[in-house]
Structure 1
Amino acid sequence: MKKLLHIIATPRGDESRTLKVSGAFLESFRSSQPGWVVEDLDLPKENLPSLTAKRVDGKYALLSGKDLYGDLKES
């Protein structure tokens, strides 16, 4: 079974025009693609860690193949 991940990144909810457009698309997609499952990921409702400079530094260190050191390990 194929999956489509619909990532909702706006905290505006029903006030979001983009969310209305994506909702119309997904309604059409669901009816025309019955073999697909659409999964919503609503980021504003998730308990995500706060973004800090240390976390960003750690991410880029890992992406460049470096080991995390010191307080970057904790982030």
Structure 2
Amino acid sequence: MDAARHQFLLSIPDQLCVVGFDDIEQASCSFYDLTTFAQPVVAIARQAVTWLGESPSSDRLEGHSVTLHAELAWGSSVRGV
């Protein structure tokens, strides 16, 4: 966002909409007010630990798939949709 604003002189969100994917603390700072996806980090970690505990001791783990729901945290970096 900094480069878009300062180096390319783009107006956010008028000329460029920006969306993050990990809802870091800085996303909510007033200077950024980034729209971002809040991922269920605790649920992801729990699932990974469960899979590791269920896997036999080997160098390779079987592939797994799970669907977890993220929430969209609206900021001002995206124009109203």
TM-score > 0.5, shorter chain as reference: no
Give TM-score, length-normalised by structure 1.
Answer: 0.29
Question: What TM-score, normalized by structure 2, do the two folds share?
Answer: 0.28
Between Structure 1 and Structure 2, the one with more helix by share is: 1
Greater share of strand: 1
